[in-house]
Chains A and B, each alone.
Chain A
């Protein structure tokens, strides 16, 4: 499952996010139509949950594997398992001890990768020669299916927090690098000429002009980077099976406990949404000038 999710981010479509394309993201609506949309969304969610719960109970539909609660569980069972997982009762271990390492590794890997990748992208984008020399290497490295490198990382760094951090770093690094590189490289000629004629040195040009654009592009890739970090860390944990949410998923799958698998996925999703929300708030604060000028 995790491998599938991961392949969505195959190197071919590595996400160079054009921030101007994702700047606002939200469709502006008047408050009335927003209420209608929210209500309809809630309705859709309720209908799906009700169908999931009750359709398998109609006649002998549950004999069909895809509607058999043994395989697909049901909202009430998932809900009950989720509560047990959160509270650590009825023989179910509390989720926090598993969530901690996953969350921590994702964040540390993400932050280091954004900073290091961003700075390297800025350097490559600022120095035409360096950019020309290293670009093919970076593209080649980015094309490596990094999921396949996880075993090597585990051999090198063991199976603890350190290796999870390295895994997250490996994946996010190139996202940050490519976006920072594009941001720095694509500063328009007239903008560069203007500041040079106003007395900017090469150093000024890099830090005072290319850097803000690089930052805008890099931060715009943050939502993608957040999901990449979590997915890669969990994948690593599934492969090593030693700690974290990956271990919980492996254990639940081995015990054919679908309710548990779903509950773990829900916790992970909420976690990812929380991180995305923080990332978005950070972006809006730092990049108000970029978002507003759309």
Chain B
């Protein structure tokens, strides 16, 4: 794995471990403007530098959890605490499910987008020269195999490459928190596993606190430290699973191991229960509506 030069997350002096921002949800409730109850009594605790996966039946409000962390929505009940670390790095960026690459900018310009904004150019005031940032970004581009495409426009790239650019644009801000909203669902499986490895390595290297929302259990199991299985809407945590694979993972071989398959089946069992529960709650809702 390539190591990023000059990058440090300023290790916590006591633990010696990369700090990373922590996130805590306490009894959080959220209703959409339409009145639909999305989240009820949600408790989450994400330590700095951890990666957690959120999986649940479709439409249960997983993505809403990310919007709440990002501040794109505001919870009506409970508390959401986002504690930045001491690094002074950009607090948060997000990779969206839909394409966010700006088509009139080259790959390089897209990836450096954060630094082209006044707020982002403040990085330099925090002691990193433009050259150091450029160097770091070049390394990132190399890590995700986009070398030689720096000057290419998004329309000249394949779907998988565009996705890499989108992920890199968010990562290149070197955020304390990275939110991933089903970012790889549109990519074929082999490319997906390769991107998992890229993103996993970068996130570990930089000590970024990561929240991944996905439909793909294998994705969550291979990329995260903990996986939360969510219940049907209004959603809250149904079960929490520790992922035992540690920081050195090879995504390609991981999927062949018995441990992985065992973990997968345990995750699946819980998810299956929740999918059934979500169908049940839908049909009782339909019955209730039908009886009017």
Residues in B neighbouring A289, C-beta threshold 8 A? 103-104, 153-155
Closest to A293 in B: B155
Q: B271: which A residues are within 8 A, CB to CB?
A: none
Q: Which of B72, B116, B154, B173 contacts A293 (CB 8 A)?
A: B154
Closest residue of chain A to B116, judged by CB? Answer: A208
* Cα A209 to Cα B116 with chains together (Å): 12
> Is A6 at the interface (CB under 8 A from chain B)?
no
Q: How far is the CB of B112 from chain A (nearest CB, A)?
A: 10
- State whether the Cβ of A197 lies closer than 8 Å to any Cβ in chain B: yes
Docked complex: B221-273 residues within 8 A CB-CB of A: none
Q: B93: which of A197, A201, A204, A290 is its contact (CB, 8 Å)?
A: A197
Given contacts A212-B104, A289-B154, contact A198 B114 (CB under 8 A): yes
Question: How distant is the Cα of A31 from the Cα of B72 in the complex, in angstroms?
Answer: 52
Contact B72 A193 (CB under 8 A): yes
Interface footprint category on A:
20 to 34
From B70, B98, B102, B103, A197 is in contact (CB under 8 Å) with B70
A199 within 8 A of partner (CB): yes
Contacts A188-B98, A209-B102, A289-B104 given: A199-B153 contact, CB under 8 Å?
no
- Count how many chain B residues have C-beta atoms less than 8 Å from C-beta atoms of the other chain: 27
Residue of B nearest to A287 (CB): B104
Set A197, A208, A212, A290: member contacting B92, Cβ < 8 A: A197
Q: Which residues does chain A contribute within 8 Å of B155, judged by CB atoms?
A: 289, 292-293
Q: Is A49 in contact with chain B by the CB < 8 A criterion?
A: no
- Of the candidates B97, B119, B153, the one whose C-beta lies within 8 Å of that of A201 is B119
- List which A176-190 residues lie within 8 A (CB) of chain B: 188, 190
Contacts of B118 in A (CB 8 A): 199, 201, 204
Q: Complex Cα distance A264/B96, Å?
A: 57
> Closest CB of chain A to B17's CB: distance in Å?
26
Residue of B nearest to A188 (CB): B98
Interface flag for A33 (CB, 8 Å): no
Known contacts A199-B90, A212-B104; is-contact A193 B96 (Cβ 8 Å): yes
Residues of B within 8 A of A (CB): 70, 72, 90, 92-94, 96-98, 100, 102-104, 113-114, 116-120, 153-156, 169-170, 173
The 6 closest A-B pairs by CB, nearest first: A199-B119, A194-B100, A293-B155, A292-B155, A190-B96, A199-B120
Q: List 9 A-B contacts (CB under 8 A).
A: A190-B100, A198-B93, A199-B120, A200-B117, A201-B118, A201-B119, A290-B104, A292-B155, A293-B155
